[in-house]
């Protein structure tokens, strides 16, 4: 099959236009990707002994640090315009009795338990992912390390009978080993509510509302920015 010169020129013009469109689209895509990466840049925020890393965006968000009680420090990140709490993060000290085997203490070294959490508001429910850490403090070297993660777990509080199903949570030392100064906690769950609906006069069926929830956060023992 032969293509005349006019057809060949038309084809070349089409290819040129397509190439130009590809370059323009690629430029927009990479620019948007770069902007998005800058927006979600993590920031370290000091609570009590530990530091949480979160995507706090100071121009549009407000951060409030609260001392809930003698054992719990909590920060709440809210939208400046609406005042709505976007997420909350906390550190809870677990008091150990003098006879508790976990409370191994010498003149300068000590172990303690801390529970860390990340909490989000999901409709009428507050969903929280937590982890309990065993912390080692060396008084002489003035250093703190995460000895181990004892457990990770989910909680939900709801005014409308929502509950969590298919929960999964895990942890990893981001330095590769324990003891460590950095851990990452991740989890997935399904927020679920069962409703019984009437189809006919004597017939009912179970109806489920389901929403997937995924949380992840990083903690370390190094001093944060705030």
pLDDT along the chain (226 residues), means of 10: 51 52 42 35 72 73 81 88 88 67 52 91 89 82 83 90 93 93 94 84 83 90 52
Q: What is the pLDDT of residue 85?
A: 87
User: Under DSSP, is residue 60 helix (H, G, I), strand (E, B) or coil?
Assistant: coil
Q: What are φ and ψ of residue 182, in 5° steps?
A: -140, 130
Q: Residue 65: which H helix or E strand, with range? A: strand 61-67
Q: Which residue in 217, 197, 215 sits closest to 207, CA to CA?
A: 197
Contacts of 143 (CB under 8 A, 6+ apart): 137, 221
In the sheet that 109-122 helps form, which strands lie side by side, from edge to edge?
Answer: 61-67, 72-79, 85-94, 109-122, 125-138, 143-158
Kindly list the domain boundaries of the chain, sorted by start residue. Answer: 1-39, 41-220
Q: Report pTM.
A: 0.71
Contacts of 119 (CB under 8 A, 6+ apart): 87, 88, 89, 90, 126, 127, 128, 129
Q: What is the pLDDT of residue 148?
A: 93
Q: What is the pLDDT of residue 158?
A: 83
Task: Give the distance, in angstroms, between the CA of residue 40 and the centroid of all CA atoms in the same chain.
Answer: 12
Q: What are φ and ψ of residue 56, in 5° steps?
A: -75, 120
Q: What is the pLDDT of residue 71?
A: 86
Q: What is the pLDDT of residue 16?
A: 55
The Cα 175–Cα 180 span in angstroms is: 7
Contacts of 40 (CB under 8 A, 6+ apart): 55
Q: Which residue in 98, 165, 187, 178 sits closest to 136, CA to CA?
A: 178
Residue 195: how many CA atoms within 13 Å on its side-chain side?
9
**């903690």: which residue's tokens?**
219
**């949570």: which residue's tokens?**
169
Q: What is the pLDDT of residue 150?
A: 95
Q: What is the pLDDT of residue 130?
A: 96
The Cα 170–Cα 172 span in angstroms is: 7
Q: What is the pLDDT of residue 56?
A: 67
């Amino acid at each position: 099959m032969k293509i005349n010169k006019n057809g060949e020129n038309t084809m070349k013009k089409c290819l040129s236009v397509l190439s130009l469109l590809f370059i323009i689209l690629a430029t927009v895509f990479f620019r948007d990707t770069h902007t998005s990466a800058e927006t979600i840049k993590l920031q370290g925020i000091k609570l009590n002994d530990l530091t949480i890393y979160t995507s706090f965006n100071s121009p549009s968000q407000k951060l409030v640090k609260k001392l809930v009680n003698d054992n719990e420090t909590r920060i709440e990140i809210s939208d400046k315009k609406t005042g709505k709490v976007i997420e909350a993060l906390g550190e809870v000290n677990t008091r150990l009795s003098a006879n508790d085997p976990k409370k191994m203490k010498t003149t300068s070294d000590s172990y303690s338990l801390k529970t860390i959490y990340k909490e989000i508001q999901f409709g009428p429910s507050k969903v929280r992912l937590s982890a309990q850490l065993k912390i080692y403090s060396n008084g002489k070297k003035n250093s703190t390390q995460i000895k181990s993660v004892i457990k990770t777990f989910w909680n939900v509080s709801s005014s409308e009978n929502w509950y969590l199903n298919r929960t999964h949570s895990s942890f990893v030392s981001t330095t590769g080993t324990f003891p460590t100064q950095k851990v990452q906690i991740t989890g997935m769950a399904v927020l679920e509510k069962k409703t019984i609906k009437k189809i006919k006069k004597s017939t009912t069926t179970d109806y489920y509302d389901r929403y997937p929830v995924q949380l992840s956060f990083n903690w370390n023992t190094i001093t944060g920015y705030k």
